[in-house]
Structure 1
Amino acid sequence: MHRSVLFSAASAVLLSACASHHGNMAMTPPAPVADAIRVPAGHKMAMQTVGSGQLLYECRVKANSQADHEWVFVGPTAVLKDRNGATVGKYYGPPATWESSDGSKVTATQVAVAPAGDGNIPHQLVKANPAMGTGSMTGVTYIQRVATKGGVAPNMPCSSANLGAKQTVVYQADYLFWKAS
């Protein structure tokens, strides 16, 4: 009970803070996340987006093996929209890059992942590198990927017969951008 009260209070604070920073943008409080992908204390959510697009995979020889093969993640291509459906940026790579429509962008390094259910890529926490350009990505410290739908590696065979084959998989995820408070 105590934990849910704290979460409700924190959600209300985040919601009001986000509303004051983004005018009429409909911000919803984040759902509880696994401890592994929790943003460290001292950060506040600055922006929420919904990313939808494709993840590219390639059939390759498994690391440390000459006989086994696997689908390896190559990179994303997605459009980022705000909660009102307006396009606010894009996500692409490698390296993983979140770019705002204002031209500012960040790359990031994965810190942790958490399961997201069968058929969905994991939830993720990444630590952002300093932003390039000036704009909404300036000061972003962490990005969470939550509410994932789809995106897992293809379930078609990967073997020496199709080594180098590429497949795209459709996915969607919420990307939550955090800044130091």
Structure 2
Amino acid sequence: MRNFRTCLLFALPAFAVGIHAQASPARPHAIEAFAKGVQIYSCKDAGNSYAWTLKGPDATLSDAKGHAIGRHFAGPSWQAEDGSVVVGEMLSASPSPDAGAVAWLVLHAKSHSGKGDMASVQYIVRTRTEGGAAPATGCDAAHASAEVRVPYSAVYLFFRG
């Protein structure tokens, strides 16, 4: 797992690599969270057809011991137990190596609110995704505005400045 994280760090901008190298044991510059929840899709009219469109996630974030440490919701937003929030903006996406899983992402912080764990996050990485991809069928005129909740899990890495 350590080699995987090291490779992932080098995939981020040099800024993120630099802050990771300066991490102190008292306040690490990277937070690892395990997400478990759903990706919510809505059936929308796409002109000449209908398509499942991502409405947003609804997931609980846990630490390595399984303790809840926050939540993930539309924005995309992540909120820590202390109330601090970071809203991300996508920089890049890569298909998951697992069929039926949502993409792996690198995002940068677009905005923050509150004081706490998410207040100084600069980059967010989503990796090791399972599930969550939009259904391939079931979205048509008869199901316009219908919603589906697709179970997913992922690992999120939050890099703080």
The answer to whether TM tops 0.5 is: yes
Q: 1:145 aligns with which of 87, 104, 126?
A: 126
Please state if 1:108 is matched with 2:88: yes
Partners of 2:120 and 2:146 in 1: how far apart? 39
- 4+ runs of 1 displaced by more than 2 Å? 31-35
Provide the alpha-carbon RMSD of the alignment.
2.1
Matches of residues 1-181 of structure 1 in structure 2 within 5 Å? 11=2, 30=5, 32-33=7-8, 38-43=11-16, 44=20, 45-62=29-46, 66-93=47-74, 95-117=75-97, 118-180=99-161
1:128 CA displacement: 0.7
The two structures have a TM-score, normalised by structure 2, of: 0.85
The one-character-per-residue Cα deviations of 1:60-111 (angstroms, maximum 9, x if unpaired) are 112xxx2211111001100000111111000011x21100001111111111
Partners of 1:33 and 1:68 in 2: how far apart? 38
1:155 CA displacement: 2.9
Partners of 2:32 and 2:108 in 1: how far apart? 16
Structure 1 stretches lacking a partner, 5+ long:
1-7, 13-28
The two structures have a TM-score, normalised by structure 1, of: 0.76
Partner SS, residue 91 of structure 1: strand
Partners of 1:102 and 1:74 in 2: how far apart? 25
- Percent identity, please: 29
Partners of 2:7 and 2:144 in 1: how far apart? 40
**Number of residue pairs matched by the alignment:** 149
1:159 CA displacement: 1.0
Bigger fraction of residues in strand: 2
Q: Which one-letter code corresponds to 2:78 in the other structure?
A: W
Structure 2 stretches lacking a partner, 5+ long:
21-28
Q: Is the 8 A contact 1:130 1:139 kept in 2?
A: no
Partner SS, residue 42 of structure 1: helix
Q: Is the 8 A contact 1:34 1:114 kept in 2?
A: no
Partner SS, residue 89 of structure 1: strand
Q: Which one-letter code corresponds to 1:100 in the other structure?
A: A
| TM-aligned CA distance change 1:176 to 1:87, over 3 Å | same
| TM-aligned CA distance change 1:156 to 1:34, over 3 Å | farther
Partner SS, residue 129 of structure 1: strand
